[in-house]
Structure 1
Amino acid sequence: MLGSFMDYSDVVISAVNYKFNRDIFQLALKKGKHYVDLTEDVETTNWIRENSKDASVSIIPQCGLAPGAINIIGAHLARQFEKPISLKLRVGALPLYPTNNMSYYLSWNTAGLLNEYVNMCDAIVNRGKAKVKPLEGLEKIIIDGIEYEAFNTSGGVGTLTDTYWLQIDELDYKTIRYPGHVDYLRFMFEDLGLKNNMKLANEIFNQNVPTTTDDVVIFFAKATGYINDSITEKNWVCKIYGKNNMTAIERATASGVAEVLCMLKDNKLSSGFIKQEDLPFDNFINGKFGEIYGTT
């Protein structure tokens, strides 16, 4: 049945659980349709990349928030330096009014969320590709006078480590949360061993953590490097709120993929596998949908 729907389309968008993406991708490729998805799963993206080498259509996974927009904007910052040194990517989808102990409510797919908490994370350390542990690398961030914490999670770095290793000293991605959140995650996934029983972890979150439509997306990228022999930093910061009956995370995610669709419609993109960082920044940030990521 899915194949018959594809017959009447130009582009296939997979917005389902990442576990279905391989089959959807293969069917889209067979039908000669452009393929776009929102996955954060590294293994799935690598598999799609490996199997799209001879594609005559555009294959563009990871078109959401992180990975997605954060990679487009992060790469834009890195390109402004004669010699980039570091690139730090930080994103969080947070409730505006949390009252529970871990200061977090659900605002998107639980399976995707928990997947980021338990898988090893890609990074660049000392100009080499590295794997770092999830829920580690805790740091404090203050944005507009509000204190947050950030820690390693998987997927958000996208394909940037493939693009920038040997070119940049340090590159990593971390999830933003309210202070104290990671301690509860470590207790659940490490002390109680829920990382070894993801089905149970999903059930616990879905049954006990409230969902919310009152949310905010915190988007922060920082690059440092040399310009005219002087070490410099450049930041990109924005906050996205809900609007027009859409939550912040819905707006942020939909805007990323919608702008990619506009590029496809306008024939701005090539065939084959396309990394997020290879998408044209100016078209993205100045577009009808991508402009939501403009700095505040």
Structure 2
Amino acid sequence: MIKNIAVVGLGKVGSLVAILLNKSFNVHGFDSQPIANSYSFQSSMIDITEREAAFQKLKEFDAVVSCLPYKYNIIIAQMAHQAGIHYFDLTEDVKTSDEIMKLSATSKGIMAPQCGLAPGYIGIVGYDLVKRFDKLRDVELRVGALPRYPNGLLGYSFNWSPAGVINEYIEDAEVITNGKRKYVSSLMGLETINIEGREYEAFYTSGGLGTLCKTLDGKVDTLNYKTIRYPGHARLMRFLITELILKDKKEVLEDILTIAKPPVKEDVVYVYAAVEGWQGDKLFREEFFHTYLPQEIDGQEYRAISWTTASSVCSVVELVHQGVTPSKGYLKQEDINLDDFLSTSYGKYYKKQI
């Protein structure tokens, strides 16, 4: 049972996570910056670099949700492990998730990283299709979080963490090709996608598969995750990251892109999954595709990327609370049934647009 939850990081997504969870739990929000008094939940400042002081605050809760940039998540995870409480985050960083998996071997609570949109919801959707087959051939997962009205050559706005996006573009992506697990360079594997008559591109990015490569190893010929963008985006990002060698200066690249491509209110999220395989002796292809737009919650409109990410992690928290999932160890997204996910108090936000 979960009663008291700490939400660390009250940015665009973290504040919404706290607002949503506060409908069912006692929530206390923490941030490194002064916090507005208009929130419905209690809040205070925290400095996670002061580890002992931060630990003394967090250990009083039943669970902690980290909505911090990926490089800080392991610190919160270690504190949760030490305190013996449940841990959830939104990370796309593979190294962070691997370290959390090691912690989970001796955890007293659940350790659940990768609970956002991708990795997260897309893995739940994809594995729901996988379970319909007796034998698999191909699994393709695609997600795009985009401005509805793009401008400039990049055709992008940073409604999501710039640090997280850049990390996805720089780190290698794990895939299964010809039945073998391997790593490929992100921003490669370019393909053209047509969505409702409009052309997009998709390419490999790191972290989107979560633990699916481990789960489906030896069971599928092809498995990959690609990010959807407007045409030309990958080529320009490769220029910045590789040719200008800004991969070695992530903070500089983050500053440039944050200033150049600020957030927009009108965004769109595309979620697409396709699985090919055999049902009995017949070869089939099952697909899932939905478009998610900004949505009003409690009288305030939230960007599509914000509510899809926030409601995803909140749904996982509720399922752990209800005992639908295991109560300790490492929680993989493919262990969560899509119907259970959509039946939670927070899954309703997805159902409104399905």
TM > 0.5 fold call: yes
**Separation (CA, whole Å) in 2 of partners of 1:264 and 1:163:** 21
What is the match of residue 167 of structure 2? 115
Find out whether 1:261 has 2:317 as its counterpart: yes
Amino acid at match of 2:311: S
The 3-state SS of whatever aligns with 1:51 is helix
Find out whether 1:169 has 2:221 as its counterpart: yes
What is the match of residue 69 of structure 1? 121
**Separation (CA, whole Å) in 1 of partners of 2:63 and 2:154:** 40
What is the match of residue 197 of structure 2? 145
What is the match of residue 93 of structure 2? 41
What is the match of residue 288 of structure 1? 345
Out of 187, 194, 198, which is 2:250 matched to? 198
Preserved contact between residue 93 and residue 249 of structure 1 (Cα < 8 Å) = yes
What is the match of residue 5 of structure 2? none
Flag structure 2 segments of 5+ consecutive residues without an equivalent: 1-52
Write the mapping of 1:18-97 to structure 2, written as runs, cut at 5 A.
Answer: 18-97=70-149
What is the match of residue 131 of structure 1? 183
Out of 230, 238, 250, which is 1:178 matched to? 230
Q: How many residues align?
A: 296
Preserved contact between residue 181 and residue 213 of structure 2 (Cα < 8 Å) = yes
The 3-state SS of whatever aligns with 2:104 is coil
Using the TM superposition, give the Cα deviation of residue 291 of structure 1 relative to its aligned residue in structure 2, in angstroms. 4.2
The 3-state SS of whatever aligns with 2:278 is strand
Find out whether 1:229 has 2:285 as its counterpart: no
**Separation (CA, whole Å) in 2 of partners of 1:225 and 1:291:** 30
Out of 237, 241, 247, which is 2:303 matched to? 247
**Separation (CA, whole Å) in 2 of partners of 1:44 and 1:215:** 28
Which deviates the most, 85-94 or 183-192? 183-192
Q: TM-score, normalised by structure 2?
A: 0.81
**Separation (CA, whole Å) in 1 of partners of 2:183 and 2:265:** 34
Query: How big is each residue's C-alpha offset from its partner over 1:204-259, in whole Å with a ceiling of 9 and x where there is no partner?
Result: 11122222121111110111111121211111111111122211000110011010
Which deviates the most, 41-50 or 189-198? 189-198
Query: How big is each residue's C-alpha offset from its partner over 1:130-174, in whole Å with a ceiling of 9 and x where there is no partner?
Result: 101111111111122222110010010111000001001100000
Seq. identity, %? 39
Amino acid at match of 1:183: R
**Separation (CA, whole Å) in 2 of partners of 1:145 and 1:287:** 34
**Separation (CA, whole Å) in 2 of partners of 1:243 and 1:5:** 33
Using the TM superposition, give the Cα deviation of residue 289 of structure 1 relative to its aligned residue in structure 2, in angstroms. 2.0
**Ranges of 4+ aligned residues in structure 1 off by more than 6 Å:** none
**Separation (CA, whole Å) in 2 of partners of 1:68 and 1:15:** 14
Preserved contact between residue 105 and residue 211 of structure 1 (Cα < 8 Å) = yes
**Separation (CA, whole Å) in 2 of partners of 1:293 and 1:223:** 21
The 3-state SS of whatever aligns with 1:234 is strand
Preserved contact between residue 124 and residue 169 of structure 1 (Cα < 8 Å) = yes
Query: How big is each residue's C-alpha offset from its partner over 1:73-117, in whole Å with a ceiling of 9 and x where there is no partner?
Result: 111111111111111000010001112121111101110010000
**Separation (CA, whole Å) in 2 of partners of 1:266 and 1:187:** 48
Superposed CA RMSD in Å reads 1.4
> Larger relative CO (CA 8 A, sep 6+): 1 or 2?
1
Preserved contact between residue 204 and residue 226 of structure 2 (Cα < 8 Å) = yes
What is the match of residue 35 of structure 2? none
